[in-house]
A and B are shown apart, each in its own frame.
Chain A
Amino acid sequence: MANPTARSFLQVAATEEVASPLRVVQIEGLAILKIIKHCKEFSPALVTGQLLGLDVGSVLEVTNCFPFPIREEDEENEAEGANYQLDMMKCLREVNVDNNTVGWYQSTLLGSFQTVELIETFMNYQENIRRCVCIIYDPSRSTQGVLALKALKLSDSFMDLYRNNNFTGEKLREKNLSWVDIFEEIPIKVSNSALISAFMTDLEGDAPVTQCDYDRLQLSTNPFMERNMDFLIECMDDLSMEQQKFQFYYRSLSRQQAQQQAWLQKRRAENASRKAAGEEPLPEEDPSNPVFKPVPEPSRLDSFLITNQIANYCNQINGVAGQNFSKLYLMKALHEN
């Protein structure tokens, strides 16, 4: 952090020509702490905030952040929120902090973040900032002794599709896009200036174990599992709904096809008789006929998101269960000793 601006400018100049893919998100310790503080204070309510920083080649540096006030469900507040954001940026520029928006952060509850809103917000950001990330912090998981921090971005192919709003089965197949390919997770690297590192080392006591490590040993995981189960069940319901929608679509499609066939057959018979009578055959397509109006295919986006969500929960359960088992075995061993 000694002279980040100079380096970053150089890098920016270099990468302007070849847009190298984003590889790492590098976050300042300060920013992380601010995020954690904000999210934890308001938990279990969900909060968001702005990320500020620099885009340097394949590395996105997040150097600072500020929280958004909790939004109330009002249209006036929308404007207020935007104003707040601008004011905040102005103030930060005045104190000479990085005021380049690179994304936003938000808190989540047990990883239930894969929603349409997230994607919409992301697309909004994406319009203005070519490279942006979303950092997601899960305070509830962090109580388990893990730093549940994630940096996400949408995959390019997905964004293409989303812009065209084209989530039919055919397009998805064309792009070879499955539910796994919606989000890309980017590794996070925490960087601190040398001064801070030194200070921290100085602060650190002699004890080799931290509070975080104690948390990790906590045995009661039931509430966490239960919550996850609840969410999973909800997801299942949602998925069934989606499936139903799709089935309905499929049925109406097949019905329509049958109708079309019937119509075509009739028309052909008519044409044959007309031909016999020496008249002009009627066209075999009739766009005005309601039979040929295409049935709108339901978007697969929702089901993709739900699937993502389910995968997320499953991973969490897996992780927690695995940890729990090892903890239990440890306990057993301790008891035997």
Chain B
Amino acid sequence: MASRFWTSQGGSDSEEEESDYDEEIENGAPVDPATQAAGSRYLKENPSDSDDSGDQKRVVRSAKDKRFEEMSATVDQMKNAMKINDWVSLQESFDKMNKQLEKVMRLTESEKAPNLYIKALVMLEDFLSQALANKDAKKKMSSSNAKALNSMKQKLKKNNKQYEDLISRYREKPESEEERDEDEDEDEETDSEIEEDPTKIEFKDSEDEDDEKGGDSQDEDDGEWEKKMSKREKLMDKQFKNPSEVTWDTVNKKFKEVVAARGRRGTGRFEQVEQLAFLTKVAKTPAQKIEILFSVVSAQFDVNPGLNGHMPINVWKKCVQNMFVILDILIQYPNIVVDDMVESDENETQKGPDYNGTIQVWGNLVAFVERLDAEFFKSLQCIDPHTREYVERLRDEPLFSVLAQNVQDYLERVSDFKAAAKVALKRIELIYYKPQEVYDAMRKLAEQTGDRDNGEAGEEHKVVEESRGPSPFIVTPELVPRKPTFPENSRTLMDCLVSLIYKYGDERTKARAMLCDIYHHAILDEFSTSRDLLLMSHLQDSIQHMDISTQILFNRAMAQLGLCAFRVGLITEGHGCLSELYSGGRVKELLAQGVSQSRYHEKTPEQERIERRRQMPYHMHINLELLEAVHLICAMLLEVPNIAANTHDPKRKVISKTFRRLLEMSERQTFTGPPENVRDHIMAATRALSKGDFEKAFDVITSLDAWKLFRNRDNVLEMLKAKIKEEALRTYLFTYSSSYDALSLDQLIKMFDLSDAQIHSIVSKMMISEELYASWDQPTQCIVFHDVEHTRLQALAFQLTEKLSVLAESNERATEARIGGGGLDLPPRRRDNQDYNAVGGRWQESFSFTQGRQGGGSGRTGYGAGGGRPLALGQAAGGGYSRDRTGQSRGTGAGYPGTRYQDAAYGGGSGRSAYQSGSSVRGSQMDISNRMVSLNRGFRS
């Protein structure tokens, strides 16, 4: 075998040489200087001796190069044959090429046929089908020619079968193949350089297809042009073979055709994008270009069929680039108006760039931006957050934000503020969860990559353009900045975006922006600001009716608010914010940070899929461990003294049910090991604290890992230590006051490491609120305890008053419903549920339990209960805050009636009955912090 090949190789060698000369002689035409290596070689060779050329070649070229050269020469020959429709010579060249292929293959030792070869095959195939289709021409052919054509047909068919996949791959993406070709051998440059020289094609005079006299270069170019086309789409090549023939009409027709094929069977999605992208190059007017670009973008969105997967990242990036181009055009031609409401005139896009009036183009920039955002979000959901890919993907964020910024700017310029608000919301959603540090990092990254990218992306951009063949008719300069600009401070950015939205946004946009704003304020430790925002917006009332993702956002904002409250030392508020999140044991679900498995009912795959689609990307997560720790610590600080105070009647006043349940569970354990998770830690601390051992409690809590997630960790721990000491003191006094007749202040100072002023104030507060029956003995600095116990009759009387207040209140509501009071815009059922939740919680264990169950039941429908809880939370928290504020503004002792009035006003706009005020007087005797607790529970607000 080998020997035969060797001989044949030799034979073909000489043959090839011969044919080379033949060709040159045949052509005999002046060689275009633009034709490259091979061409110039011929040029050089022409005057020289033919023998020399052979030697020269052997000396200079490597064997491989030589083979490739030979092959490409054959291909050229074939091209020429094609032009004159000479099938006989074409057949000969084909045979020759096949022989050469064998040599090349052996030489390169690769299994794959070289691209040059495949390209030739494709070209041949196309030409053949074209020739066959043309019946008239076939008839006119000479008999020998026709015979050759037929045999060629068969040969090609047989031959191409071997390379089927290569051919199809090549047809699919000629670009990438070409790029590789360029690297592979210089000969290839023949093609690519011609391609890179599109101006020639553009400005070339129209000439007949079969005019060979027009000169070699012309022919070459034409051939290339044709080939290019054929690679892309057989259907397309005919129409756009000759650039000058391309008119608006043809492009429009083709465009309609391609668009009509969308979604049909057998229409390749990538292919369609390619076709459309090509069409943008040949678009005649800017308006048409925009129209086509819109289709390109939507076709790119179509590339990913499923709802679950995300758009390929490179397509996404291209899509963003396309959006930039659209914006460029829009800015360049301000008379083009994009609108999705008007069914624009069929020929609207025919109007050229010099047209004066407005040109309406159908499209919706906002929808595209939103879709891009959704795709970005989805891709982050899908990518494993612990991989490098995720980080890489995150780096694309500035790219999107700059696009959004540009779109927003544009929309503002055309004074479509509503749409601008929507885009602004997308931008907000990118930054609201970032603390200043992260924001700074992003800004830095954006600047760096901006610098680098600007160069790179620009180049890349150009390359992309070029590799797609001729440069577009409509050249758009880059008008919009490709580099994001972020203000120094994330707050400034938020403020400016948010104010735009508040001004122009619709309900949902406003609500979301508000929530983001709240979240962001909370991150920046501005608790009071964000709390006021939440209360003023009354979002907690209406969040129930919003869509699920907004509800999730609300939950996130609440969680962040809780963390913020904790950081600034407002334990009660923090607990108020967080307790509802934890009441159902479905935190993960409520924050959309993972799918929680429920033991009681299986989720259908459909539900699960929907739930997965809502998940937050990893980088936006709120650390659950930290959240749990904060929640439990808040609960501990409130509950431990509370339990100590109500030892006789532990069920009576439950602040945190979750905490109580955990405590019960841990008490039931026969053996408690060293703490492992967050709960264990808190339970250990609770045990220590309930004995008044603050040091141990603090040590256990400090050993939690989660603290390192706080920015000002030391301050927070300091605050925590102070709080723990205070609560330890209170607990100690509650628990052991009955064992003392009197207790000296010094002793307490020693025990709890607190200043005497602090102890004095704490103990005094307890006395005033009647939690501690004692009095100060000033001269000796002692607390003298009184032995006071409620009689049963008194206890019953208290109970009765409470019952009465419930009754009176519900009576009031009934009247309110009758005469049409204030709060009727809420559905009555919900209000009532809420009322009973808040009011009934105190003594009617079973009652609120059924409420909980109800909530669980409605949870089946997905987030129904998820929404319900936050509402309750909001209301409870709202009540708490309002009271807190009045407490702050009025001071402790001065304004009891006023406070009560305020309570009533928050309660729904109508006054309270006598019973109610009676108990509120009782409540108002407590100090501020305790009032918040007790009133929170005693009243519905």
Contacts and interface: CB of A to CB of B under 8 A. Distances in A.
Interface of A: 222, 225-226, 229-230, 232-233, 236-237, 239-240, 243-244, 246-247, 250-251, 254
Contact of A225 (B793, B811, B814): B793
B807 interface: yes
A247 B800 CA distance: 22
Contacts of B107: none
B828 A240 contact: no
Contacts of A236: 800, 803-804, 806-807
B811 A243 contact: yes
A245 to B, nearest CB: 12
Given A250-B817, A251-B829, A240 B797 contact: no
A233 B793 contact: no
A209 B807 CA distance: 46
Contacts of B792: 222, 226
B529 interface: no
B810 interface: yes
A240 B807 contact: yes
The 9 lowest CB-CB distance pairs between A and B, nearest first, are: A236-B803, A229-B796, A251-B828, A243-B810, A233-B800, A226-B793, A225-B793, A240-B807, A233-B803
24 contacts: A222-B791, A222-B792, A222-B793, A225-B793, A226-B792, A226-B793, A229-B793, A229-B797, A229-B800, A236-B800, A236-B804, A236-B807, A239-B807, A240-B803, A243-B807, A243-B810, A244-B810, A247-B810, A247-B813, A247-B817, A250-B814, A250-B817, A251-B829, A254-B828
Interface residues of B, number: 19
B100 to A, nearest CB: 82
B849 to A, nearest CB: 16
B832 interface: yes
Contact of B796 (A230, A239, A251): A230
A239 B811 CA distance: 11
Contacts of A247: 810, 813-814, 817, 832
B703 interface: no
A255 to B, nearest CB: 9
B755 interface: no
Nearest to A250: B817
Interface in B791-844: 791-793, 796-797, 799-800, 803-804, 806-807, 810-811, 813-814, 817, 828-829, 832
Contacts of A226: 792-793, 796
Contacts of A243: 807, 810-811, 814
Nearest to A232: B800
A246 B814 contact: yes
Contacts of B799: 229, 233
A243 B807 CA distance: 8
Contacts of A239: 807
Contacts of A225: 793
A230 B813 CA distance: 26
Given A251-B828, A251-B829, A240 B796 contact: no
Nearest to A246: B814
Q: Is the interface of A mostly helix, strand, loop or mixed?
A: helix
Contacts of B810: 240, 243-244, 247
Contacts of A254: 828
Given A229-B800, A240-B807, A247-B810, 13 more contacts: A222-B791, A222-B793, A230-B796, A232-B800, A233-B796, A233-B799, A236-B800, A237-B803, A246-B814, A247-B813, A247-B832, A250-B817, A254-B828
Nearest to B814: A247
A246 B828 CA distance: 13
A172 to B, nearest CB: 16
Nearest to A228: B796
A233 B797 CA distance: 9
Contacts of B811: 243
Nearest to B832: A247
A237 B844 CA distance: 10
A225 B832 CA distance: 33
B818 to A, nearest CB: 9
A53 B455 CA distance: 117
A102 to B, nearest CB: 39
Residue from the set B791, B797, B813 with the largest chain A CB neighbour count within 10 Å: B797
A244 B811 CA distance: 10
Interface string B761-802: 000000000000000000000000000000111001101100
Nearest to A225: B793
A38 B764 CA distance: 59
A247 B811 CA distance: 10
A250 B816 CA distance: 12
A233 B810 CA distance: 16
A246 B792 CA distance: 33
Contacts of B817: 247, 250
Contacts of B796: 226, 229-230, 233
A229 B793 CA distance: 8
Interface in B826-868: 828-829, 832
A246 B799 CA distance: 24
Nearest to A235: B803
Nearest to B797: A229
A232 B803 CA distance: 10
Nearest to A237: B803
A26 B791 CA distance: 44
Contacts of A229: 793, 796-797, 799-800
A237 to B, nearest CB: 7
Residue from the set A232, A244, A246 with the largest chain B CB neighbour count within 10 Å: A232
A310 to B, nearest CB: 10
Contacts of B793: 222, 225-226, 229
Interface in B454-482: none
Contacts of B807: 236, 239-240, 243
A254 B800 CA distance: 32
A240 B847 CA distance: 12
A244 B792 CA distance: 29
Nearest to A229: B796
Nearest to A221: B793
Contacts of A240: 803, 806-807, 810
Contacts of A251: 828-829
A226 B800 CA distance: 11
A247 B791 CA distance: 36
A306 B817 CA distance: 23
Contacts of A230: 796
A229 B806 CA distance: 17
A246 B806 CA distance: 15
B514 to A, nearest CB: 31
Nearest to A244: B810
